[in-house]
Structure 1
Amino acid sequence: MKAAADRTARSASARGGFTDADYGTGSAGSIQARLAALDWKAIEESLWRFGYAKAGPVLTPAECAELIATYADAGRFRSRVNMARFKFGVGDYQYFAAPLPPLVQALRTHAYPPLAAIANQWEAALGTALLHPPDLAALQALCRRRGQTKPTRRGVDYTGGDFLLVEQRPRAQSRGEAIATEQGEIVIFTTRYRPAEGARGFYRATVRHGVSRVLSGSRYTLGVIFHDAK
């Protein structure tokens, strides 16, 4: 699972939201408190039913602006991808270098445990032997043993640019979702598959994601991936 990536420009439900006055600059403790305040029961139910859950706003406008401002600083990133080259769309995205910005690290650390618990329920429903570690430190230790040491990728006024999910089901028509988000919101979603219940129990439903064409303005997205890469 991760939280949304933009396919057409530079490259996330709790009640209400947070303002800059509520939490200031976004310390690790305040991010932890905001994530803990989310309706995780509703998030879990939505993930089981649809393969995604919308929650937020979690980040304040000032925090969003701070993250966007880092995008022009090439020294903060380890690689850049031109999306047109791979026929992903129009735009680009970059992968943060270590160390991650404190706000991103806090999101990664404190969102992982409840999502790992849900992911383990999914694996059990599908009958797999895979067990996700209970916290991010344990997951990163596993990644290091496998030679995966590079961290996640990063991420406004605009029109268009809805977040898209397409679920492919065996012997059935694919199902699409277009999800409109507000600044600072998060979308939690599976990047590969989810357990879907059929007449004979659970089966793997493949879920693909993207973003509709941005018609005007600029769209920035922060993508938080929990595992490390080689």
Structure 2
Amino acid sequence: MIDTTRPAGPVDRRVDDNDWAELADELHEYGNALTRRLLTPEECRKVADLYDEIACFRTTVDMARHRFGSGQYRYFSHDLPAPVREWREAFYPRLLPIARDWADKLGKPAPWPDSLGEWLGMCHEAGQDRSAQILLRYGPGDWNALHRDVFGDMLFPLQVVIGLDAPGEDFTGGEFLMTEQRPRAQSRGSSTTLPQGHGLVFTTRDRPVATKRGWSNAPMRHGVSTVRSGRRHTLGLVFHDAA
């Protein structure tokens, strides 16, 4: 069923209006969880159109050149457009309790303060001072290899991708892919069709899974299947900066 809701109100309220207990449960079970609709089609188009405003970005990456897949993405500069900055700031406090819970289960440090600004300051002090916010554009035949967005020792364990085009209308194919390396077992895969205006919260590197011996790391990777037709844009929100 197509979601016909039209989100309204401040960005933080739209994020808060999700059932975060349910999202946390899905993240624990699968390593990713789909939010309700966050942006209207018009708002999605405005963000996607930023791709052609070169001054907004610090660099463009050609995935084929680097053998990452096929297609392009651009890293925003630190002078983020208001919509990108606002969505990142709204998600951080909601993801923070999950991140801390995962660290506790795995017996790892949880260095993330209550403030996103303070955490980014810590990243910069450690030499990770380049913006990692991404706008991606895929055309027919483009795809993204399975990978993890780890840019240094300072790492936030969750990130968000927001779909900016309508699957089945603006493009076909292009499903979001994840693989989970299970302890002493074969890897498990999943695919998600990302609806326009929805966010997908997913694991950056690994997540805790319960085993007979307690909690264990499950390494996760993500990517995008081949786009068969049309054009697909997504906004990637990363909560640590890059070295």
Please state which band the TM-score falls in when normalised by the shorter chain.
0.7 to 0.9
Deviation digits for residues 139-186 of structure 1 (CA, Å, limit 9, x no counterpart): 112112213222232223100000000001122111000101210110
Q: Is the 8 A contact 1:17 1:56 kept in 2?
A: no
Q: How far apart are the structure 2 equivalents of 1:145 and 1:175? A: 37
Gaps of at least 5 residues in structure 1 are 1-15, 24-29
For the residue of structure 2 that corresponds to 1:63, the secondary structure is helix
Question: Which residue in 2 is equivalent to 1:54?
Answer: 34
RMSD value, Cα: 1.4
How far apart in 1 are the matches of 2:54 and 2:228? 27
Quote the Cα distance in structure 1 between the aligned partners of 2:222 and 2:98: 20
Please state whether the residue corresponding to 1:221 is helix, strand or coil: strand
1:19 paired to 2:32:
no
Q: Does 1:96 align with 2:96?
A: no
3-state SS, counterpart of residue 69 of structure 2: coil
Give the SS at the match of 1:85. Answer: coil
Q: How many pairs does the alignment contain? A: 208
- Aligned match for 1:170, one of 183, 187, 193: 183
Residues 1-230 of structure 1: matches in 2 within 5 Å? Answer: 18-19=5-6, 22-23=8-9, 30-155=10-135, 156=165, 157-230=170-243
- CA–CA distance in 1 between the matches of 2:241 and 2:204? 15
Q: Does the 8 A contact of 2:179 with 2:221 survive in 1?
A: yes
Instruction: Give me the whole-angstrom Cα distance separating, in 1, the residues matched to 2:206 and 2:83.
Output: 28
For normalisation by structure 2, the TM-score amounts to 0.82
Pick the structure with more helix per residue.
Answer: 1
TM-score of the two chains, using structure 1 as the length reference = 0.86
Asked if the contact 1:117–1:134 (Cα under 8 Å) also holds between the matched residues in 2, the reply is: no
Q: Write 1 or 2 for the structure with the bigger share of strand.
A: 2
C-alpha distance in structure 2 between counterparts of 1:100 and 1:52, whole Å: 25
Give the counterpart letter for 2:56 in structure 1: R
Q: Is the 8 A contact 2:183 2:216 kept in 1?
A: no
Kindly tell me: are residues 132 and 87 of structure 1, through their superposed partners in 2, closer, same or farther at Cα, counting changes over 3 Å?
Answer: same
Q: Tell me if the contact between 1:193 and 1:205 (Cα under 8 Å) persists in the aligned partners.
A: yes
Percent of aligned pairs sharing the same letter = 40
Separation of aligned partners in 1, 2:102 and 2:4: 29
2-structure distance, mates of 1:88, 1:183: 24
